[in-house]
A and B are shown apart, each in its own frame.
Chain A
Amino acid sequence: MVPLWWYILLGVVLFVIGAAGVLVRRNILIVLMSLELLLNSVNINFIAFGRYYADFRGQIFAIFVIATTAAEVAVALGILVALVRNKSTLKVDDVTVMKG
């Protein structure tokens, strides 16, 4: 049987990798993908704790996280398409003004 802390460590490693992608990459698409990675590592934690403490709420929270992620990605990619159409850039440090 796999001990609980193995799953937690997998979540930690994926979270740190995803946070690195959010913080140091300059391509907006990669930043969005790293956000997905962050949310997935949190899902692993939810389900692992729910399994080891025999509680369904872990899985239910994971379902809500997945639903919210789908909404977030749709809106973020809509904003990204509008941004590329208006400013034709994909770099995060070119998008520092709200109006323009």
Chain B
Amino acid sequence: MDQGFFLLFATVAVITALTVVLARNPVHSALALMACFLQISAVFILLEAPLLAVVQIFVYVGAIMVLFLFVIMMIDVREAALQRFLPGGNLPALVLLVLLGVEMFVLVLSSDRFSVTEPVAMGGGDQIRQLSTTLFADYLLPFEAASVILLAALVGAIVLARKESG
């Protein structure tokens, strides 16, 4: 049951990810990436991380991809859609990617660290409460740093996208 759902979600995620890279039109890429993020949030639910699944849908599908679509609509993408890939010099990159993929496959399949089939039982129900306790007690300083980073990004994006750069 779980395995069937995982295979379904993983297949659709890989197909949509390929569509992101191969599509000629950036709008098609953005929509395929939205579909891919939805599949990944379904995988998060399979991993019993419902909070992360909801955050994934809110932040990625709801905010980031809408931002992408706004920018695509703001700027003229027709001239860039003519040529899909970098002209020449693709071969080293592709060889590098194949090597990277094969290396990771071999490492994953040969190591016994990854062959855990039964997850260790989480300590009792109410995982969200434990998660938030850990987040706001042990990781309070990184949390505050993340909020400062978001504020800096907000100010920086406004300054960068302003009309006059004086």
Q: Which residues of A contact B (CB under 8 A)?
A: 1-10, 12-21, 23-27, 29-30, 32-34, 36-37, 40, 43-44, 47-48, 50-54, 56-57, 59-60, 62-64, 66-75, 77-82, 84, 88-93
Contact = CB atoms under 8 A, between A and B. Distances in A.
B67 A26 contact: no
Interface of A is mostly: helix
A27 B47 CA distance: 34
Contacts of B52: 43, 47, 59, 62-63
A56 B131 contact: yes
Interface string B55-76: 1100110011001100110111
10 contacts: A1-B3, A8-B108, A15-B104, A26-B85, A59-B131, A63-B55, A67-B146, A70-B59, A73-B68, A82-B165
A78 B108 contact: no
Residue among B14, B52, B67, B149 having the largest count of chain A Cβ atoms under 10 Å = B52
Interface string B65-109: 001100110111101110111110010011011001100110011
Interface of B: 2-3, 6, 10, 13-14, 17-18, 20-21, 26, 29-30, 33, 36-37, 40, 43-44, 46-49, 51-52, 55-56, 59-60, 63-64, 67-68, 71-72, 74-77, 79-81, 83-87, 90, 93-94, 96-97, 100-101, 104-105, 108-109, 114-123, 127, 130-131, 134-135, 139, 142, 146, 149-150, 152-154, 156-161, 165
B161 to A, nearest CB: 4
Given A74-B153, A88-B76, 14 more contacts: A8-B108, A13-B14, A13-B17, A23-B97, A24-B90, A26-B84, A27-B77, A27-B80, A29-B68, A29-B72, A51-B119, A70-B59, A81-B71, A82-B160
